[in-house]
């Protein structure tokens, strides 16, 4: 087409043909009915619905715990060892979810070994408690355990610390936790003295354990008791609470843990 020639104009009355519209999709299309598949419920974690306690006596500390581990309404393990030997001068026990408790104790146990090799002397008890506190705070979202740790050092003697699930650590003369702790709290505070001997402290813990196991359905089995003083950990024994079979089995477990290591 030459440059000067203009394009022909379209007539004004002629309209552009409309394009066919696409059919609209329904806003909420009905899905075909599928058979309902039952969802699997997540399995509950094993819990130490338990009775744990620790107290300071004149010269050291005594720590005790029962041995029942529950899975909902059933007993998963009647003879579990809830006392963890962190070192010769440090002990701990936990209540709550078993996996969380084992994880916390293993982390702190490895740290104590690392620091102990460098320093040589037994670590101060408050330093071990701060290790637990830091570990709990770093895993606060997943943590569901109460921790009682105790031991002896040359600076402050026997000490008991309680670490709550939120990561707070506080020193107490009597520390109690677990589902059976509410049944024996008044008994322990009413009969405790600062100048108790080792035998008196063990006798008090034994009586408190009998009361807790008698009134708390989630506590049971046997009571394991350990004492720590300036000579180190004392393998004091297992209280079978009038159950000879449990007592014999628990003594064998203690011998395997301490005597034949």
Catalytic, 50? Answer yes
Predicted confidence at residue 109, as pLDDT, reads 92
Predicted confidence at residue 97, as pLDDT, reads 83
Predicted confidence at residue 89, as pLDDT, reads 92
Contact 149, 164 (CB under 8 A): no
Q: Which listed residue (50, 51, 135, 183) is catalytic?
A: 50
Which CATH superfamily, name and number, covers 47-259?
Aminohydrolase, N-terminal nucleophile (Ntn) domain (3.60.20.10)
Which parts of 52-128 are beta strand (E)?
52-57, 60-65, 69-71, 74-77, 83-87, 90-97
Predicted confidence at residue 129, as pLDDT, reads 94
Distances (CA, A) of 101 to 88, 117, 155, 240: 20, 25, 28, 24
Put the strands of the sheet holding 60-65 in their side by side order. Answer: 174-177, 52-57, 60-65, 223-229, 232-239
One pLDDT digit (tens) per residue for the chain, 261 residues: 556 666 666 565 555 666 666 666 666 656 555 555 555 555 555 555 588 999 999 999 999 998 888 777 777 888 888 898 999 899 999 888 888 888 889 999 999 988 876 776 788 999 999 999 999 888 877 777 889 999 999 989 999 999 998 889 999 999 999 888 888 999 999 999 989 999 999 999 999 988 888 888 788 888 889 999 999 888 667 766 555 444 444 455 555 555 554
Contact 248, 92 (CB under 8 A): no
Q: Can you give the residue ranges of every domain in the chain?
A: 47-259
With both helix axes pointing from N to C terminus, report the angle between 181-191 and 198-215 in degrees, rounded to the nearest 10: 150
Q: Which residues of 165-186 are buried (b: 16+ CB within 10 A; e: fewer)?
A: eebebeeebbbbbbbbbebbee
């Amino acid at each position: 087409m030459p440059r000067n020639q203009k394009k022909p104009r379209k007539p004004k009355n002629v309209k552009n043909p409309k394009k066919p519209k696409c059919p609209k999709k329904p806003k909420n299309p009905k899905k075909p009915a599928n058979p309902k598949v039952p969802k699997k419920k997540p399995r509950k974690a094993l819990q130490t619905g338990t009775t744990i306690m620790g107290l300071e006596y004149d010269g050291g500390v005594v720590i005790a715990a029962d041995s029942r581990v529950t899975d909902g309404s059933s007993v998963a393990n009647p003879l579990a060892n809830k006392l963890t030997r962190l070192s010769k001068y440090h002990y701990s026990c936990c209540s709550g979810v078993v996996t969380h408790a084992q994880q916390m104790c293993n982390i702190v146990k490895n740290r104590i070994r690392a620091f102990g090799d460098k320093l040589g002397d037994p670590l101060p008890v408050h330093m071990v408690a701060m290790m637990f506190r830091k570990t709990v705070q770093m895993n606060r979202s997943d943590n569901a355990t109460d921790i009682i740790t105790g031991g002896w050092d040359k600076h402050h003697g026997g000490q008991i610390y309680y670490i709550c699930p939120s990561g707070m650590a506080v020193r107490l003369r009597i520390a109690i936790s677990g589902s059976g702790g509410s049944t024996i709290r008044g008994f322990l505070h009413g009969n405790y003295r600062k100048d108790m001997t080792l035998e008196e402290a063990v006798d008090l813990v034994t009586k408190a354990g009998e009361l807790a196991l008698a009134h708390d359905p989630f506590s049971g089995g046997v009571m394991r008791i350990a004492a720590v003083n300036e000579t180190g950990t004392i393998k004091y024994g297992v209280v079978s609470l009038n159950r000879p079979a449990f007592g014999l089995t628990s003594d064998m477990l203690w011998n395997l843990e301490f005597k034949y290591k």
